[in-house]
Structure 1
Amino acid sequence: MTDGLSVDNALARLAVYTDKTTSAVQLADIALDMRPSHALRRCWLEEVATMLRGKEDAFDKVRRAAACVSHDRPDSEPTAMTVKRLAGSFDRAAAISPAASVQLSSLGDEHRLSTTTAEIVAWLQQQGFVGAHKHILDIGCGIGRLEYALGTHAGYVVGIDISSRMIEIARRRCAGLANVEFHLTSGLDLGDFADASFDGVLALDSFPYLVLAGVAERHFIEIARVLRRGGMAAILNYSYRTSPGIDSGDMSRLSHACGMDLVVDGEMPFGSWDGMVFLVRRDGGT
């Protein structure tokens, strides 16, 4: 790891940002040709090159899954059209690789995905987010990996997503868990849920797309509405704008406007994933 970036996360970024005509083997050669003077950086680049050579097929699959989803939005595109386009993109990505569609750094490997999921659940437990009697809403549940992991730690878990294919995968993954359910959502609001109906709201890598579609603030207001007093919302990655200061500022502003306290402000507590976490609590808790 160099500058806090793991090899898996480095490969995920290469899959997104490098020229698609440059193969994994060619990228490995480029990494080895860099030859930095710092020994740790040199060793890290050698690990990256080794992974690229050993996971060439997986890297190609991750690259194809990543290419399904555009993070650009035409100025003239209506919000509903953006959401519809994203839903189709996630459907296609999940068809290529369910694991990579929700976490590129998993490299499409369920074991890697489970490792990160376990880290996230452990962090949520440390924050007092889960509990045997708590009802949790997961916005952008994807393939249901968190629902599967949280099923034994919460009273009830509801996962929602705009991707019908991901919802299908999630339902298969969590079949037999009586306290877990999934719903296809409009992606525009949380209108399907009553006021003060959840103890916790979770959004793992979904807010960046709400920001893209222009409905992040609306969802924040909705989160405050559906949370019970003292309830918490965990937002893991607010945007992909590569500006932690802007994200932190937005989270502070929205929390204040919605009568919530910003408890965790932009920390990066995970070893296997480079997500930035925010935790807010609705007034009335301890």
Structure 2
Amino acid sequence: MKHRIARYINVNGRLMDLSCPQVMGILNVTPDSFYAGSRKQTEEEIAARAQQILAEGGSIIDIGAYSSRPNAEHISAEEEMKRLRNGLEIIGREHPDAVLSVDTFRADVARMCVEEYGVAIVNDIAAGNMDSEMFSTIARLGVPYIMMHMQGTPQNMQQHPHYEDVLREVLYYFSEKVQRLRDMGVKDIILDPGFGFGKTIEHNYELLNKMEEFAIFELPLLVGVSRKSMIYKLLGITPEEALNGTTVLHTIALMKGANILRVHDVKEAVEAVRLTTAMREQSSASL
């Protein structure tokens, strides 16, 4: 396991060191996310979930109002903003110092969240493909940008995913986009291979197996595999039963260079980070 180089991102004027892997807790203010346990809509549910993420050691709260599960219902920007305003007001009141990320592919939604609520990070499943204004908006906002690989849209991505060479195509996809963002002056870029987004189970495991290849970008990596179908379909279980499998894949991802884990179960992910970090430190000490 290679020693990690320091990778800092600027979150609201503070440096966050991603060479020590961070855990991002999912807070979905949606009625239809694929994992029922992540859906939070009432004020009490939202406040309790934010508190739980922070208490269990999560360093980032990722709030999303648009379900990106396969065949998800498409909602308007106005509805997405309405849900986010409600959630962000509650979190801002209860946890004003929390580092917040917004999960959105819409530039106007991202701008609203950053400018009106101090959201620190934009997490875009479409890497600008579903809103042509996203890259220029990120450049103006000057916030860290997580861009994910996805083939198709949430409505059709799992119908017929096909690649000649999934790793090569995903790397090429990012190479073009990273260059465009660099040319626009974007400094803090985080890559997400997009497990489960326009990929078969086999594609997902090939990307995970070869995740070290993403080191060519010298950029932080976010991994989102929590309770996904690449776990529960392979094991013949439900998302509710997929925590153990999730922890196994989190451990593998950390050993292969993940800098951020985006998770439903914060406590278990934090434990995986602590254990793999202890092993890495022991390995370094013995050199």
Q: Same fold (TM over 0.5)?
A: no
TM-score, normalised on structure 2? 0.37
Task: From the CA coordinates, give the structure whose radius of gyration is larger.
Answer: 1
More helix by share: 1
Larger RCO (CA under 8 A, 6+ residues apart): 2
